[in-house]
Structure 1
Amino acid sequence: MTSPAARDRGNLHYPVEPMIATAVDEIPTGPGWAYQPKWDGWRCLGWVREARVQLQTRAGKPIGAAFPDVTRALRATLPPGVVVDGELLVWDSARERSSFSLLQRRAAAGRHVLRMARQYPAHFVAFDLLATPDESLLPAPLAERFALLEQLLAGAPAPIVLCPQTDDLAVAREWAETWPSTGIEGLVCKRLDQGYRLGRGGWRKYRVRTTAEQIIGGVTGWTSAPQTILVGQFDARGRLRYTGRSTPLTDEQRAELGPLLERPVAQRRGVPVRHPWPQPLPASWSGSWERPEPLRYVQVEPAVVAEVLVDAAFEHARYRHRVRFVRPRRDLSVYDVPLIGVDD
């Protein structure tokens, strides 16, 4: 006869879809909320087995072979049967912050994986516990799961880090305000009394955003009714460098921007004008590990400045996440927008 513990673990089979966080514009407040930093890394679940440790991405892809330093540390720290949720990070000591690009290099190291692991060690920041050797913790409240996780990680080696958690809103706001310089993107907000819901929502993610001025160099859709904008900044050589793409514009924003984007780049006095960005936009320019298809777009004269909301994920002179268009800055010239470093 199957034991109760075995029945409890019946719905935990590698891989699983982890619990999802929904984006919000305000930090949820009130009794029963807990707050954790939102890390700039890869969501990762660790499955500790008798003979090995398996790592899976949010999409269920195995990545353990690329991170032997993490699998070794998890195996040395946790007993077989534990399933832990967390984030993979690589720390850039020169910049004193986490580095998404170094994380990508680790994942693509191939036969150089051991050398890359020594050069750029990875860390697993554990923030939730799905199972112990005896039972599934999916129905258990977060307060219980996190307390057990804290016990399991007592004395863990350097590659394994317990994620900070607080129920003090003032502390959480301080994290959101002071930690973005280290690569923290904001907060993940969770109910202390809520169970772990595989593949379903329930958590909230709050990204810290600041405003920036950017130059519109292209659009998807039509210039008269743009769907999204592609933005950039001039470098010291006077070349417009691509920095990112916006989230979809609202009807009101499309109507406001359309008349300002007078014409696409085509000709000037009968002479073709060479736009500085390729057509289509290369998939690699998005900065995403799960690369999308190349993006076809309409190139426009770089004459309009846009105020946008951006987050802390800015690396190699590009915003890795979509920016949010706020308004056109008719009062600014494109030459008022700060230059971007050639070697950023």
Structure 2
Amino acid sequence: MSRAVRTLPPGVVLDGELIVLQRGRTNFALLQRRITAGRGLLGLVRECPAHYVLFDLLAGAGGEVILDLPLSERRARLERLLLDAPPQLTLTPQTADMRQVSDWLIHWTVATGIEGVVTKRLTGAYEPGRRGWWKYRTQITTEAIVGGVTSSLRSPGTALLGRYDRRGRLRYTGRTHPLSAEQRAELGGLLSPLRPLQRRGGAVVHPWPEPLPASWSGQLDRPEPLRYVQVEPTVVVEIEADVAFEHARWRHRARYSRVRPDVSVFNVPLLLGEEEGYFGET
């Protein structure tokens, strides 16, 4: 990637984002792995090369600052700058056609893992330190099974979500945002403690470890294991989630909507194979 950037004129300042693609989908986890790859970094770079998706041009050749120019002109300069650039430098698509935006939200988000679209004013200047844009994520409404909660059984702080895979295993798929007082009361009144089924050694059977490993639950700012209360996986809840998921888990927290007593855990959409990395919907 550094070689690709060095093909541009000296003094150029770009605004963009690094991505790694796997089978045509963005994979944030593969990008994160570079942080801890150590001696394996070069091999990871060769195996999973990154692309720099460019949003804006802040300074042109020779360091000419163009922040005060309208976005439309900065965009035109950026397009000219990238005419002969290596393929690792990718210009993000842009349109003023709402039909095209609708197509991106409906089809691109599912096919490529892109979270949504960003809107900016074509006449707007670039204002450092000020968010002069708006992001719209594609949201889905779906169901998941509660396999655990944080805080306490009767007053859960967040719900830990799961889905069955094709082998009949309940897999951890994500966590909700903090629940409101009303949601705590609703969910807490339906949860049951884990029944002490016995196996060799007298251990209680639950499909997930406790605490939840940091690699499952942690974010970059809080990479520690998560303590939680294991529950009988019999309660189905309706959630709102975005389309960003990796390793068969939602990358961002889901929003809890309500309990679904009318839905059996076996009617919740299946979690398809880990190699596909997507959720089946009925």
Please indicate the TM-score interval, normalised by the length of the shorter structure.
Answer: 0.7 to 0.9
- Which digits, 9 at most, give the CA deviation of each residue in 1:120-167, with x for residues without a partner? 222111011222234323333322322221221122111111111112
Amino acid at match of 1:187: V
For residues 234 and 173 of structure 1, the distance between their equivalents in structure 2, rounded to whole angstroms, comes to 32
- The equivalent of 1:114 in structure 2 is 42
- The equivalent of 1:100 in structure 2 is 28
For residues 287 and 227 of structure 1, the distance between their equivalents in structure 2, rounded to whole angstroms, comes to 17
- The equivalent of 1:260 in structure 2 is 190
For residues 167 and 91 of structure 2, the distance between their equivalents in structure 1, rounded to whole angstroms, comes to 45
- Displacement of 1:290: 4.8
Q: Is the 8 A contact 1:106 1:120 kept in 2?
A: no
Pick from 256, 265, 270 the counterpart of residue 334 of structure 1: 265
Amino acid at match of 1:205: K
- Which digits, 9 at most, give the CA deviation of each residue in 1:202-246, with x for residues without a partner? 321111111222100111222222221100012344332111001
Inter-CA distance 284–85: structure 2 relative to 1 (3 Å threshold): same
For residues 218 and 131 of structure 1, the distance between their equivalents in structure 2, rounded to whole angstroms, comes to 50
Inter-CA distance 232–83: structure 2 relative to 1 (3 Å threshold): same
Q: Is the 8 A contact 1:284 1:291 kept in 2?
A: no
Pick from 67, 84, 89 the counterpart of residue 155 of structure 1: 84
For residues 339 and 309 of structure 1, the distance between their equivalents in structure 2, rounded to whole angstroms, comes to 17
- Displacement of 1:342: 5.6
Structural RMSD (CA):
2.3
- The equivalent of 2:155 in structure 1 is 225
- Match of 1:174, SS state, is helix
Inter-CA distance 148–342: structure 2 relative to 1 (3 Å threshold): closer
- Displacement of 1:266: 5.8
- Displacement of 1:98: 2.3
Which protein has greater RCO, CA pairs closer than 8 Å, 6+ apart? 1
The 5-angstrom pairing of residues 33-72 of structure 1 reads 70-72=1-3
- The equivalent of 2:254 in structure 1 is 323
- The equivalent of 1:286 in structure 2 is 217
Inter-CA distance 179–237: structure 2 relative to 1 (3 Å threshold): closer
The 5-angstrom pairing of residues 6-25 of structure 1 reads none
Amino acid at match of 2:58: L
Amino acid at match of 2:70: P
Amino acid at match of 1:195: A
- Displacement of 1:106: 4.2
Amino acid at match of 1:129: L
- Match of 2:262, SS state, is coil
- Displacement of 1:86: 0.8
- The equivalent of 1:129 in structure 2 is 57
Amino acid at match of 2:31: L
Q: Is the 8 A contact 2:217 2:226 kept in 1?
A: no
- Match of 2:58, SS state, is strand
Relative to the length of structure 2, the TM-score reads: 0.86
Pick from 126, 137, 145 the counterpart of residue 215 of structure 1: 145
Unpaired runs of at least 5, structure 1 = 1-69
Q: Is the 8 A contact 2:51 2:90 kept in 1?
A: yes
Q: Is the 8 A contact 2:218 2:225 kept in 1?
A: no
Provide the identity percentage: 57
For residues 145 and 251 of structure 1, the distance between their equivalents in structure 2, rounded to whole angstroms, comes to 48
Inter-CA distance 125–342: structure 2 relative to 1 (3 Å threshold): closer
- The equivalent of 2:73 in structure 1 is 144
Inter-CA distance 255–301: structure 2 relative to 1 (3 Å threshold): same
- Displacement of 1:111: 2.8
Pick from 221, 242, 254 the counterpart of residue 172 of structure 2: 242
Amino acid at match of 1:100: F
Inter-CA distance 319–159: structure 2 relative to 1 (3 Å threshold): same
Q: Is the 8 A contact 1:288 1:320 kept in 2?
A: no
- Match of 2:118, SS state, is strand
